[in-house]
């Protein structure tokens, strides 16, 4: 009797799962609670995804445990999703811990219109602080050169690096390190 009940439950479960995924891309068959995890290479799961993309195409559905995930493989698939159809892919899955820690605020955790407003504000603020005026790489190279000069000045003798400070900018230089 228990066996029949379990069998009926499994049949109902698979039927419900199949009907609820009609509009999803194809993907490998998954186990009920484990998903595709047992089928994936534990050391390099991306290799398994690349191999599956040869069978199911560059857009496929994979189950990581019970979590359904749509995977994009390859430059063209990612470009089409994030550039050509950016509005369709603007949302992201909620991460309960981050949502609780940030109370829904922050560029990394928000979605939709709230995300657009935060992004616009962040870019405007960063530009006000000098982003885009001088490339970060140039700043790092300049500061590194000052550090190298300071170390060379010790003439290979042991020294305490604590008193060395970064280059002091002159007024109007516009360098702001965040």
Confidence of residue 171 (pLDDT cuts 50, 70, 90): very low
pLDDT given for residue 166 in this prediction: 52
Q: Where are the domains of the chain?
A: 29-89
Q: Could you tell me what percent of the chain has a pLDDT over 90?
A: 10
Q: What is the pTM of this model?
A: 0.47
Cβ(34)–Cβ(65) below 8 Å: yes
Averaged pLDDT score across all residues of the chain: 76
Cβ(27)–Cβ(62) below 8 Å: yes
DSSP 118-143: HHHHHHHHHHHTTTTTS-HHHHHHHH
Q: Mean pLDDT throughout 71-86?
A: 82
Per-residue pLDDT at 172 exceeds 50: no
Per-residue pLDDT at 163 exceeds 80: no
Look up residue 47 and give its two tokens: 């290799």
pLDDT given for residue 173 in this prediction: 47
Confidence of residue 131 (pLDDT cuts 50, 70, 90): low
């Amino acid at each position: 009797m228990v066996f029949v009940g379990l069998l009926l439950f499994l049949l109902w479960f698979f039927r419900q799962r199949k009907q609820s995924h009609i509009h999803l891309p194809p993907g490998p068959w998954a186990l009920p609670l484990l998903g595709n995890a047992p089928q994936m290479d534990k050391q390099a799961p991306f290799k398994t995804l690349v191999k599956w993309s040869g069978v199911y195409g560059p857009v496929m559905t994979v189950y990581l445990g019970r979590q359904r995930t749509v995977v994009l493989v390859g430059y063209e698939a990612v470009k089409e999703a994030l550039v050509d159809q950016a509005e369709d892919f603007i949302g992201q899955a909620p991460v309960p811990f981050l949502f609780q820690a940030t109370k829904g605020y922050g560029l990394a955790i928000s979605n939709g219109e709230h995300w657009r407003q935060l992004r616009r504000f962040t870019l405007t603020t960063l530009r006000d602080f000098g982003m885009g005026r001088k490339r970060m790489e140039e700043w790092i190279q300049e500061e590194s050169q000052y550090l190298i000069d300071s170390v060379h000045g010790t003439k290979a003798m042991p020294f305490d690096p604590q008193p060395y400070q970064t280059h002091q900018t002159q007024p109007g230089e516009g360098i702001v390190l965040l």
